[in-house]
Structure 1
């Protein structure tokens, strides 16, 4: 799995003004599944969103961090929560000396990637469990 810095925004129920984060995600080998903040997202095709939360169906926009600070959609606004550990990398990427006032809230975002929980969920959906495999 790769650990990379991404922009994540909740779209369901918010349009372009949903809660948003900049933080470290882990991705599956194929890149189709993204793990962040105890959620797992799977790639989907859409105009306003490009990922869906595997467990609750909420739509999200997940992308790389933009160098020109334009992470939100042009029509959107609101404070973006950024992982405290990501601030130096974000500043280096954007060439800024400090975070713009009023645009960000710095917070501690734990690395909680529910890989095993999602793996079990997929196995249950296939109708197969480890005990089934042992009983065959």
Structure 2
């Protein structure tokens, strides 16, 4: 399974870019259509207003994307995501200019 450090934000129940957000390690299925995050199996969907993954069990919508070096992950909010302890070193190195693991070529 592919694994990436990602920006994840819960969209359901919150105004635009006001939901809780995390920088965390996410595992992806071989097809990249299922993302595994904190015990959730999120399915990729298209056509939603502000989300690209859905929890099929609850219907909660999430936005997943690669983190941005300039820390503008929340497009309309300056609130910063919480960073999981197991990715802090890699994320801080990324912010300082290093590539993310498994993203050396883009």
Cα deviation code 1:69-111 (max 9, x no counterpart) = 11112x2243411111211111111117xxxxxxxxxxxxxxx
Cα deviation code 1:31-78 (max 9, x no counterpart) = 0000000111111112311111121110110011112111112x2243
Match of 1:90 in 2: 91
Unaligned runs of 5+ in 1: 97-136
**Looking at CA atoms only, which structure, 1 or 2, has the larger radius of gyration?**
1
SS in 2 for 1:93: helix
What's the TM-score, normalizing by structure 1?
0.65
Alignment of 1:1-136 (within 5 A): 1-15=1-15, 16-45=17-46, 46-73=48-75, 75-95=76-96
The structure where helix makes up a greater share of residues is 1
Larger relative contact order (CA 8 Å, sep ≥ 6): 2
**Runs of 4+ in structure 1 displaced over 4 angstroms?**
none
Q: How many residues end up aligned between the 2 structures?
A: 95
- RMSD value, Cα: 1.4
